[in-house]
Amino acid sequence: MNKKILIVAGEASGDLHAADLARALLSLDPEVTLLGMGGEQMRLAGVKLLVDARELAAVGFTEVLSRLAALTRAFRRLRTALDAEDPALLLLVDFPDFNFWLARASRRMGIPVLYYISPQVWAWRKGRIRTLKRLVEKMLVIFPFEELLYREAGVPVAFVGHPMLDRLRDIPSREEARRRMGYDLSDRIIGLLPGSREGEVRHHLPVLKEATAQIVQAEPAVRFLVAVADSLPPGLVETLLQGSDAPIRPVRGQTYEIMRAADLLITASGTATLEAGLLGTPMVIIYRVSRLTWWVGRLLVDVPAIGMVNLVAGRRVVPELLQWDFTPERVARIALELLQSPEALGSIRQELQQIRGRLGEEGTSLRAAREVLKTLYEGRARSRR
pLDDT by residue (tens digit) across 100-114?
999 999 999 999 999
Angstrom CA distances, 286 to 84, 236, 300, 358, stand at: 44, 20, 20, 24
CB 129 within 8 A of CB 149: yes
Q: In this predicted model, which residue has the larger pLDDT, 93 or 56?
A: 93
pLDDT at 385: 31
pLDDT by residue (tens digit) across 334-364?
999 999 999 999 999 999 988 888 888 899 9
One-letter amino acid at 53 equals: A
Q: Bridge-partner residues for 226, per DSSP?
A: 192, 250
Indicate whether 300 pLDDT > 70.
no
Specify the CATH number of the domain 175-356. 3.40.50.2000
- At the topology level, CATH places domain 4-167+362-384 in Rossmann fold (3.40.50)
What gap in Å lies between CA 232 and CA 140, rounded to an integer?
A: 29
pLDDT by residue (tens digit) across 193-207?
999 889 899 999 999
User: How does the average pLDDT of the chain come out, rounded?
Assistant: 90
Query: Percent of the chain at pLDDT above 70?
Result: 90
- Residues 6 or more apart whose Cβ sits within 8 Å of residue 58: 64, 66, 67, 71, 197, 199
CB 275 within 8 A of CB 168: yes
Indicate whether 309 pLDDT > 50.
yes
Q: Which helix (H) or strand (E) holds 320?
A: strand 320-322
Exposed/middle/buried for 184, CB within 10 Å: 0-12, 13-18, 19+? exposed
Q: Concatenated DSSP letters for 131-200?
A: HHHHH-SEEEESSHHHHHHHHHTT--EEE---THHHHTTTPPPHHHHHHHTT--TTS-EEEEE--SSHHH
Indicate whether 297 pLDDT > 70.
no
pLDDT at 291: 64
What gap in Å lies between CA 196 and CA 7, rounded to an integer?
A: 21
Q: In this predicted model, which residue has the larger pLDDT, 1 or 175?
A: 175
What gap in Å lies between CA 20 and CA 25, rounded to an integer?
A: 9
Angstrom CA distances, 219 to 112, 193, 246, 319, stand at: 57, 20, 11, 20
Three-state SS sequence of 222-234: CEEEEEECCCCCC
CB atoms within 10 A of CB 167: 19
pLDDT at 315: 85
Q: How confident is the model at residue 236 (pLDDT cuts 50, 70, 90)?
A: very high
pLDDT at 68: 83
pLDDT at 56: 74
pLDDT at 63: 56
pLDDT by residue (tens digit) across 241-287?
999 989 999 999 899 999 999 999 999 998 899 999 999 999 999 99
Any idea where the domains of the chain sit in the sequence?
4-167+362-384, 175-356
pLDDT by residue (tens digit) across 155-174?
999 999 999 898 888 899 99
pLDDT by residue (tens digit) across 32-64?
999 999 999 999 999 999 999 887 765 455 555
pLDDT at 55: 76
pLDDT at 381: 39
pLDDT by residue (tens digit) across 220-233?
999 999 999 988 89
Biggest CA–CA distance in the chain, Å, is 74
pLDDT at 23: 97
**Helices 342-356 and 271-279, axial angle in degrees (round to 10):** 100
Indicate whether 97 pLDDT > 60.
yes
What is the Rg, in whole angstroms, of the alpha carbon atoms belonging to the chain? Answer: 21
Of 240, 247, 297, nearest to 123 by C-alpha is 297
What gap in Å lies between CA 301 and CA 294, rounded to an integer?
A: 10
Q: How far is CA 172 from the centre of its chain?
A: 21
- Long-range CB contact pairs, 228-235, < 8 A, 24+: 228/252, 228/253, 229/12, 229/195, 229/196, 229/255, 230/12, 230/40, 231/12, 231/39, 231/54, 231/57, 231/196, 231/197, 232/196, 232/197, 232/198, 232/201, 233/198
Q: In this predicted model, which residue has the larger pLDDT, 298 or 236?
A: 236
pLDDT at 230: 84
Q: How confident is the model at residue 124 (pLDDT cuts 50, 70, 90)?
A: low
pLDDT at 312: 84
What gap in Å lies between CA 160 and CA 22, rounded to an integer?
A: 15
Q: Give SS3 for 262.
A: coil
What gap in Å lies between CA 375 and CA 280, rounded to an integer?
A: 36
Q: In this predicted model, which residue has the larger pLDDT, 53 or 379?
A: 53
pLDDT at 144: 85
pLDDT at 169: 86
Q: Comparing 4-167+362-384 with 175-356, is the CATH topology the same? A: yes
Please list, residue by residue across 100-122, b when 16 or more beta carbons sit within 10 angstroms of its beta carbon and e when fewer do: bebbebbbeeebbbbbbbbbbbb
Q: What counts of helices (H) and strands (E) characterise the chain?
A: 18, 13
Three-state SS sequence of 321-353: EEHHHCCHHHHHHHHHHHHCCHHHHHHHHHHHH
What gap in Å lies between CA 260 and CA 281, rounded to an integer?
A: 7
pLDDT at 303: 58
